[in-house]
Amino acid sequence: MEKNLICICCPRGCHLTVDENMSVSGNFCPRGAKYAIDELTHPTRIVTSTVKVNDGSYSVCSVKTASPVPKEKIFEVMEEINKVELKAPVSIGDIVIKNVLNLSVDIIATENIELVK
Amino acid sequence: MRKVDLLIIGGGSAGLAAAVEAYDRGIRSIIIIERGAELGGILNQCIHNGFGLGEFKEELTGPEFAYRFAKQVQDRNIECHLLSTVTSVTPNKVVTYVNEEEGSVEVEAKAIIMAAGCYERNAGAIGVPGDRPAGVLTAGQAQLMINKFGYLCGKRIFILGSGDIGLIMARRFTLEGAKVLGVAEIMPYSNGLNRNIVQCLNDYDIPLYLSHTVSQVIGKKHVEKVEISQVDEKFRPIPGTEKVFDCDALVLSIGLIPNNTLLSDIGIKVSGTKGAEVDQYLQTSLPGVFSCGNVLHVHDLVDNVVKEARIAGESAARYIQGDLHVEEYDISCAAKDGVGYILPQHISGSDYEKVDFKLRVRKPTQNVYIEFIYNGETIKRVFKGVIIPSEMEVISLPLSLFKEKKGALEVKLTPKEVNQ
Ligand SMILES: Cc1cc2nc3c(=O)[nH]c(=O)nc-3n(C[C@H](O)[C@H](O)[C@H](O)COP(=O)(O)OP(=O)(O)OC[C@H]3O[C@@H](n4cnc5c(N)ncnc54)[C@H](O)[C@@H]3O)c2cc1C
Ligand code: SF4
């Protein structure tokens, strides 16, 4: 059975077709082919959110999973993210949670938060 | 009065990329005036990933992308005034800005780059019927509240409009524990990028009601219910199709409008995009004033914003250096059948070998050619299997195609069958 998907790897959103032999067409770049196969076998997503920061220039700091996590784990990952509180300063790339849920993926900060006394 | 070579209004991705380009072309006297507390503009509140695949070959979140550009500006020691708002521009290129420390300051600039982004249409703009309770807000406001300050705008949320910000926020609300009851879109198709329909709505089973609008907002002090109805082809609610949702917030994602009044107020010509009319240098009808980014036309991809801003930065640098030639060409560009708008609206000079044309179609269309007709003759056709309004097309054509250097270019869609 042919399957139609929309690639979500970048905003271009290519329309992909996967045939019975798992060969992919419609992708503008190689990432689309990998996405289609992954999506049909084990779908994953990057999760982005915010965590609470104390003494910072803002009260929350944006974070992301450093690489995609299994789609069915998104809400569990969110629960872990929501448990964390940071203390300013925070720098882009700081590890906020190491190896979240043993998925071999870190949660990292995606913005700088300055210390405000 | 203080004098500078280049003044940039807005320190979002457009303003920053333009500043870096002008600097790297030799301009040293540059100031950026930014209303917000940090550089980067709207990107700072877009914490989702999907930025910069073209620019950095990796997928970044908005704040990470903003940081890289802000750093390029800081590394060059370009002067930035934060928490400073430009209040007027004069035809002699005197710019007034205000801030808490300096008060009101006038600066005379040889060139100005307008990069003030866009603003969101709100409930007043579309006349949402019903009560006027608290809890009706735009998607960008809701995004700012949650992503920068940690406040969720409701627990049971309905979204009107399927623009990208609305879709992104549907997912964000859901992840933060709110229930998104649905998204209503008045058009028969979504206005957001496909990828956002997939990963923001479908992933979380959030229903999208196409050809539906909010027909009633109900609530005394705070939103209590919204009623949606299906619409007919003239976008009028059809009686008998009402659905009512109990909710405590109505979030609007119903369009963005260029924040161009500083220029339109002084008579700089405005185009159909509600941004300024420009030539291929991105120069407006007032020589020495350039425009780029969302203030020129609303972009869906930051990569396109950055490319456009670099052209504005280069053109402004050339203008300041007395090296911008506008005489040789004089061609008008117009959008025809099926094409909503085309940019630039005018081709004037000869300094760049290529012209980047940008356009959006009016509605989703299949199997068409985008046809460029210059003085009655087709000079280029680009085939598109699918073309949708939410994705801007960029087509680069060599200037050498415009042999007569004068006349008119029309861009339209022609169905494939007709041509065969
Ligand atoms: C919610 C959302 C999601 C998006 N998602 C993606 C995505 O996934 N991938 C992608 O590639 N692109 C995405 N985009 C598109 C892209 O990122 C933006 O179009 C781009 O960042 C716009 O840059 P800009 O500099 O033109 O505008 P802005 O970032 O809005 O910058 C304009 C700046 O001008 C300042 N300003 C305005 N008026 C004045 C004044 N009078 N005086 C001083 N300063 C002023 C403002 O404070 C602001 O900082 C998204 C856009 C939005 C809104
Ligand atoms: S196939 Fe490549 S270009 Fe197309 S959407 Fe996927 S990542 Fe983007």
pLDDT in tens, B201-226: 999 999 999 999 999 999 999 999 99
Instruction: Quickly list DSSP for B315-358.
Output: HHHHHHTT----SS-EEEEEE-TTEEEEE-SEE--SS-SEEEEE
B65 phi/psi in degrees, rounded to 5: -65, -45
Tell me the residue length of chain A: 117
Q: How far is CA B415 from CA B65, B270, B361, B386, B409, in A?
A: 39, 30, 13, 12, 19
**Contact A115/A56 with Cβ under 8 angstroms?**
yes
CA of A30 to the centre of ligand 2 (A): 8
B419 DSSP 8-state letter: G
- Beta strand pairing status for A85-87 and A44-45? unpaired
In a domain, B128, yes or no: no
Cβ atoms < 10 Å from Cβ of B121:
17
Does A6 lie at the interface with B, CB-CB under 8 angstroms?
A: yes
Cβ atoms < 10 Å from Cβ of B401:
14
Question: Is the domain of B372 the same as that of B418?
Answer: yes
Residue nearest to atom 1 of ligand 2 (CA): A32
Domain's final residue, options B254, B277, B299? B254
- Beta strand pairing status for B208-210 and B2-9? unpaired
In a domain, B129, yes or no: no
What does the pLDDT average to over B263-275? 96
Residue of A5, A28, A50 for testing the chain B interface, max B β-carbons within 10 Å? A50
Domain's final residue, options B228, B254, B280? B254
Q: Is the pLDDT of residue B53 over 90?
A: no
| Calpha distance B221→B223 (Å, rounded) | 7
pLDDT mean across residues, chain B: 94
In a domain, B125, yes or no: no
In a domain, B124, yes or no: no
CA-nearest of B417, B275, B405, B415 to B350 is B405
In a domain, B98, yes or no: yes
Domain count, chain B: 3
Measured torsion, CA atoms of residues B399, B401, B406, B409, in degrees rounded to the nearest 10: -100
Domain's final residue, options B224, B239, B254? B254
In a domain, B380, yes or no: yes
pLDDT at residue B420 in the model: 46
Closest ligand 2 atom to Cα of A29: 2
**CB distance A65 to ligand 2 below 6 Å:** no
Pocket test for ligand 2, best of A4, A6, A31, A34 (most atoms within 8 A of CB): A31
Question: Is the domain of B189 the same as that of B250?
Answer: yes
Question: What per-residue string of b and e applies to B361-399 under the rule 16 or more CB within 10 Å gives b?
Answer: beeebeebbbbbbbeeeeebeeebeebbbbbbbeeebeb
Question: Is the domain of B7 the same as that of B60?
Answer: yes
> For tokens 């005394």, what's the residue?
B220
In a domain, B126, yes or no: no
pLDDT band, residue B419 (cuts 50/70/90): very low
* CA B251 to the chain's CA centroid: 20
pLDDT in tens, B312-362: 999 999 999 999 999 899 999 999 999 999 999 999 988 999 999 999 999
Tokens representing residue B233 in the block = 């082809």
Question: Is the domain of B16 the same as that of B103?
Answer: yes
Q: Is the pLDDT of residue B370 over 50?
A: yes
Question: Is the domain of B390 the same as that of B413?
Answer: yes
Question: Is the domain of B210 the same as that of B110?
Answer: no
CA distance B410 to chain A (A): 26
Closest ligand 2 atom to Cα of A35: 6
B99 phi/psi in degrees, rounded to 5: -155, 170
Query: Between these two residues, A46 and B54, which has the higher pLDDT value?
Result: A46
Q: How far is CA B269 from CA B228, B263, B286, B287, in A?
A: 39, 8, 8, 12
Q: Residue B223 sits in a domain of what CATH number?
A: 3.50.50.60
Q: Is the pLDDT of residue B124 over 80?
A: no
Question: Is the domain of B300 the same as that of B365?
Answer: no
Question: Is the domain of B140 the same as that of B107?
Answer: no
Q: Residue B366 sits in a domain of what CATH number?
A: 2.60.40
pLDDT in tens, B3-52: 999 999 999 999 999 999 999 999 999 999 999 999 999 999 999 998 98
Q: Is the pLDDT of residue A28 over 50?
A: yes
CA-nearest of B250, B243, B246 to B228 is B243
What does the pLDDT average to over B57-61? 90
pLDDT in tens, A53-80: 999 999 999 999 999 999 999 999 999 9
Question: Is the domain of B20 the same as that of B91?
Answer: yes
Q: Is the pLDDT of residue B388 over 90?
A: no
Residue of B61, B301, B367 for testing the chain A interface, max A β-carbons within 10 Å? B61
Question: Is the domain of B6 the same as that of B107?
Answer: yes
Share of chain B above pLDDT 90, in %: 86
pLDDT at residue B417 in the model: 74
pLDDT at residue A11 in the model: 67
Q: Is the pLDDT of residue B60 over 70?
A: yes
**Contact A114/A90 with Cβ under 8 angstroms?**
no
CA of B290 to the centre of ligand 1 (A): 17
Question: Is the domain of B250 the same as that of B262?
Answer: no
In a domain, B32, yes or no: yes
The model's pTM? 0.93
What does the pLDDT average to over B251-277? 96
Predicted ipTM of the assembly: 0.88
Question: Is the domain of B415 the same as that of B311?
Answer: no
What does the pLDDT average to over B67-90? 98
Closest ligand 1 atom to Cα of B299: 19
**Contact B21/B313 with Cβ under 8 angstroms?**
yes
Residue B228: which domain range?
136-254
Does B44 lie at the interface with A, CB-CB under 8 angstroms?
A: yes
Question: Please, which residues bridge with residue B98 across strands?
Answer: B85, B104
